Amino acid sequence: MNFKKIFNKLLIFLFIISIFIIPKTCLAYTNKVILGGQNLGIEVNSNGVLVVGFYKVGNASPGALAGLKIGDRIIGIDDTVINDITDLSFSSSVLNDKIKITYIRNGNKETTDLKLYKDSSGVYKTGLYVKDSIIGIGTLTFIDPKTNMYGALGHEIIEKTTGQKFEIASGKIFKSEITSITKSERNNPGEKNATYNAREIYGTITKNGVNGIFGNYIGQINRSNLIDVADASEIKLGQATIRTVISGTEVKEYEIEILKIYPNNETKNILFKVVDEELISKTGGIVQGMSGSPIIQNNKIVGAVTHVISDDATKGFGIFITTMLKEIED
């Protein structure tokens, strides 16, 4: 399949929810990392409250009448900073049933007046469906042994209703176990199914960046599991492996073949095909939840899995590991 046809296919982020400049010849942050592959539970909390839909109260939605749109991020009401959904609860103390909303749209701060609707029980309604957090799973890519900073996913977290990057105020990674796999089929990528233990925290999330999520790792670290970092120029076509979990918490390596390298693409740098029969039989190829799975070649970490090609789930894309490391520095 040629380059043009591949990039016309539908590419799907592998993070479950319910992608800079390539370094040149020197490594951006460290020449060795602690190898990942472990499954992660992921929770991020929004910076403000995200509008994800509208509902009618009476004959219309007050939020829609106020000119708000899906994807707007509410950060203030009158003189109060909005941190989460609970800040959108209103009582009979509201003056004239009207509030001034401050929100972010396309990076710009704007304001509007919203007239609340009071129902028969005395509760004020905004007509807005909102969201202040996302929870899901992904894969740990690496930990920097010098700083305990980690990288995971290899792409940003997107809120599925709006299709926009989720602007975070905080977040955490924690223990998660894979319970089953929904296999990928043509034009229908599968997914890892998992349970969560949010009390067993592995680290914080301080950045939801274009090249992954990043933060401070506070869980137990196996510092003997070091691996050299490969520069993009060292990556070759041919045999490699990916490291991921498809059952419980067991991390295993599976064979892939690197088909092509795109050094000038922003994040889809490594085109590969899964050739491991065990992985294909159990997952159908690449599934959602494999985002961040390390790609290893010649005993070096070269990248991380980021996308699946929907019409052939045995094929996917990865990002250069040096790109993820550079984002930590930034």
Strand partners, 101: 77, 112
Neighbours of 157 (CB within 10 A): 25
Task: Give the pairing of strands 149-152 and 212-216.
Answer: antiparallel
Q: How far is CA 154 from CA 63, 151, 237, in A?
A: 35, 8, 21
Among 311, 305, 301, which Cα is nearest to 279's? 305
313/274 Cα distance (integer angstroms): 9
**CA neighbours closer than 13 Å in the CB half-sphere of residue 224:** 0
CA dihedral of residues 188, 192, 198, 203 (deg, nearest 10) = -90
- 111 three-class SS: strand
3-state helix, strand, coil in the chain (%, to 5): 10, 50, 40
> What positions carry a catalytic annotation?
155, 276, 291
How long is the chain? 330
